Every structure is written in C-alpha cells, then in structure tokens.
Amino acid sequence: MHVNPLDDARRQAEICNACRYCEGFCSVFPALQRQRSLADMDLRHLSNLCVNCRGCYYACQYTAPHEFNLNVPAALAEVRRDTWQQYAFPRVMGDVFHTHGVAIAALSAIAFALLFIIATVIRPDSGVGFYAVMSHTLMVSLFLPASVLPLISIGVSLRRYWRDVGGRRPTLRECAQVFKDTASMRALAAGHGEGCNYEDADRFSHARRIAHQLTALGFLLCLASTSVATLMHYALDWPAPYAWYTAPKLLGITGGVMLSVGTAWLGWLKVQADTALGDANAWGGDMAFVLLLCAVAVTGLALYALGNTALLSPLLAIHLGTVLAFFLAMPYSKMVHAFFRIAAQLRESQIRSTTS
C-alpha cells in the first residue's frame, strides 16, 4: 500500500521528538524539537535541512526490527524529492526526471551531440579554434536561452517555496552566515564534526564532504572561466582561442579537473552507500546529475587536450551536447537541491533569530 511520504515522515518525526536522543546530531533536530505538531511545510523545511549524513539512523534504537521501524534519512529524502517535484516548474518535468533520470540525461546528451555534429558540417566562412567549426553566433543563440530559461524555472520554484515556508527578506548578516556554512560544507561534518556515515555504516568519514567541495568549487571555477571569457570577448574585443596562461584557461582547466574528480568520487560513494537509507525513487535522477556533470568536465578537458587535432569537431559536438543537456535538466535534477538547501538554511536562520 502506498504511503504518503509526508504522513510517514510526520509519524517518524513525532517519535523522534519524544525521544530526543539525536538532538545534537545536525540542524534538523533542533528545528524539529521547536514544535509539538508538524504541518506539511514544516516537514518540507526539515527535509531540505537534512543532508542525509545517516548518523541518526545508526544511533537510533527504534530502527528495524523494532516495531517503530524508524528510518529518518530515507523518510526525509522522500519528502525532499517530493518537495522538488511539487515545486518544479513545469511540474511534469520534475516527476519524469527523478524516476528516469539516467536514461533522459544519456538520451538528451546523445541527441544534442548528434545535432551539433550535423551543425559542424556547415562550417563558418572564417574563424579560429572552435569558431572554425561552429560560429560564435550559433553558440550564443543556442546557449543563451538554454542557460537563462532554467534559471527562470528555478527562480519560480524557489519563490513559491520561500513564500510557503513563510520566508521574509533575508538580512545581510543572515546571508553571510549561510554563505559561510555552505562554503565550508559544515553540515556534511554532522553535529559531532567527524563526518558522515554515508558509505560505510558506523564508520565516520569526511569523504562525501570533500567530494562535494571539489564538485562545488570546480563548478564555480568553470563558471568563472566562462564569465571571464565572455568579458574578454565583448568588453576587450579579445575573442577565443586563449593561451593556456590566460584566466579563462587557468580557471577552466583547474575547475575541470576538480569537477571531474569530485563528481566521479560522489558517484562512487553513491554506489557504495546503502540505498535503503535514501530515496530509491530518486536514485536515477541523482546519479544522472552526477554523471552528466562529470561528462561535462571530462569532455571539456578532452577538448582542451585534443583541440588541435582532427578530433576537434566530434569532441566539440559531444561537449556542447552534454553541456546543453545539463543546463536543460538543471531545474529538475539534483542540482536544484543546492538552491532549496540554501533557502532552508536562510529560513532556519530567520526562525532562530525570531525565537532566541
């Protein structure tokens, strides 16, 4: 019989609230213990505070085979996925991606790559490097809407979520604290500071925290590389290709290596982890996000290494195909969890400042 994830999470949360053994484990439990009854939006807020470190599960005396059968990490993971789906814009895309994520990501990347291969047959009359294969105008006309529209979609989702959890305009101090916590990935060290129990039951490890930091920083460096290259192209009239010692290359190569290592590591950890402590229905979507982001980084590095060979055209098509697939899937993939988690942290900071 199908059980509403919110109802099951509420049942488990009420038992946790009576026990309170895990009150120092992470930010979820202090937020949980503030109130005796939990509305649906309270549970959605708690789910986005949770990072699935799994420490509470291994410390709990009421897990299976106890009749209470508590599994808080899995319960909150289901609510978290349900929240992303409920607030996805358009919603149908969120439902489909989380259940068939790997297939959708793979087929999208392949389809876009084939389209770009066809596009490279019609070469521009002039150009150097990438632009000798595909014109700058064509790239901009494709990737500008492909990057802006997903951000609009995420913005709509977040605005609705923020309104429903009762959020107000954050202060500079609240934003600074959340930025500090996010940059350090402090939540992945859990309340005891020894790390997660993610990949190996009772063994604490910072592996997941480090892999997340590599992934996040690598992504930001790649984004910085693209931004700097855009400024150089339009503001300084300095079009690509760029030498290895210029800012776009140094940022891009460093970010690409970090992103490749971080996503590959996250994928390995996810394979090693106990799927019963997460949301099995979201496994495909989560893995699709990791693999797609890894493919973007690896194909980008391959393009840099082999860009002066006959492989330039197919590598460019494959890389652009993976990038386009990643952008279009972004509002419905696990990428969106970063935005929702930051929103949940901001709201939690506001609640604490009001009740303290």
Please state, in angstroms and rounded to a whole number, the distance separating the CA atoms of residues 103 and 334: 15
Q: Which domain holds residue 16?
A: 5-80
Q: Kindly tell me if the per-residue pLDDT of 1 is higher than 60.
A: no
Average pLDDT over residues 130-140: 74
pLDDT at 279: 87
- What pLDDT, on a 0 to 100 scale, did the predictor assign at position 214? 95
Decide which of 36, 61, 80 is a domain's last residue. Answer: 80
Based on the domain organization, do 49 and 182 belong to the same domain?
no
Mean pLDDT confidence for 313-318: 86
Give pLDDT tens digits for 227-243.
Answer: 999 899 889 988 888 88
Residue 90 clears pLDDT 60, i.e. is over it: yes
Cis link prior to 150 (omega < 30° from 0)? no
* Residue 17 and residue 137 in one domain: no
pLDDT in tens, 50-75: 988 888 898 899 999 999 999 999 99
CA 172 to CA 170: how far, in whole Å?
7
Domain identity same for 137 and 283: yes
Nearest Cα residue to 52 out of 214, 332, 283: 283
Same domain, 182 and 213: yes
Could you give the CA distance from residue 11 to residue 5 in angstroms, rounded to a whole number? 10
Mark whether 281 and 330 lie in a shared domain. yes
Same domain, 42 and 189: no
Same domain, 246 and 110: yes
Contact assessment for residue 344 and residue 45, using Cβ atoms and an 8 Å cutoff: yes
Same domain (yes/no): 95, 142 = yes
DSSP-derived secondary structure for 8-60? HHHHHHHHHHHH-TTTTSSTHHHHHTT-SS--HHHHHHHHHH-----HHHHH-
What would the two tokens of residue 130 be? 């990438």
Least confident of 5-19, 80-94, 179-193, 309-323: 179-193
Residues 68 and 110 in one domain: no
89 and 232 in a single domain? The answer is yes
Residue finishing a domain among 80, 101, 123? 80
Question: For residue 147, how many other CB atoms are within 10 A of its CB?
Answer: 15
For residue 297, the surrounding DSSP H or E stretch is helix 283-306
For residues 170-175, give the mean pLDDT.
89
Question: Between residues 200 and 173, which one has the greater pLDDT?
Answer: 173
Q: Are residues 188 and 246 in the same domain?
A: yes
* Residue 124 neighbours by CB distance under 10 Å: 13
Of 107-116, 183-192, 346-355, the range with the highest mean pLDDT is 346-355
Out of 58, 80, 102, pick the residue that ends a domain. 80
What is d(CA 208, CA 195) in angstroms, rounded to the nearest whole number? 8
Given a cut of 90, whether residue 289 has pLDDT beyond it is: no
The region, left, alpha or beta by phi > 0 then psi within -120 to 50, assigned to residue 201 is: left
Counting other chains too, the contacts that 274-278 makes at CB distance below 8 Å and 24 or more residues apart are 274/54, 274/201, 276/71, 276/74, 277/52, 277/54, 277/57, 277/71, 277/73, 277/74, 277/77, 278/52, 278/73, 278/74, 278/77
User: How does the average pLDDT of the chain come out, rounded?
Assistant: 86
CA distance 219 to 262: 10
Q: Specify the higher pLDDT residue, 201 or 7.
A: 7
Q: What is the model's pLDDT at position 352?
A: 83
Residue 3 has which token pair? Answer: 């059980």
| 83-88 contacts at long range (C-beta below 8 A, 24 or more positions apart) | 83/44, 83/47, 83/48, 83/161, 83/340, 84/157, 84/332, 84/336, 84/337, 84/340, 87/157, 87/158, 87/160, 87/161, 88/153, 88/157, 88/331, 88/332, 88/336
Q: Which helix (H) or strand (E) element contains residue 142?
A: helix 136-164
Per-residue pLDDT at 97: 67
8 Å CB contact between 241 and 308? no
pLDDT of residue 99: 65
Q: When comparing pLDDT for 2 and 141, which is higher? A: 141
Look at 94 and 68; give whichever has higher pLDDT: 68
In this model, does residue 48 exceed pLDDT 60? yes
Answer yes or no: do 147 and 32 share one domain. Answer: no
pLDDT on residue 300: 93
For residues 327 and 300, give the distance between their C-alpha atoms in angstroms, rounded to a whole number.
15
Tell me which of 13-22, 96-105, 132-141 is least confident: 96-105
Instruction: Please state the domain count of the chain.
Output: 2
Average pLDDT over residues 12-23: 89
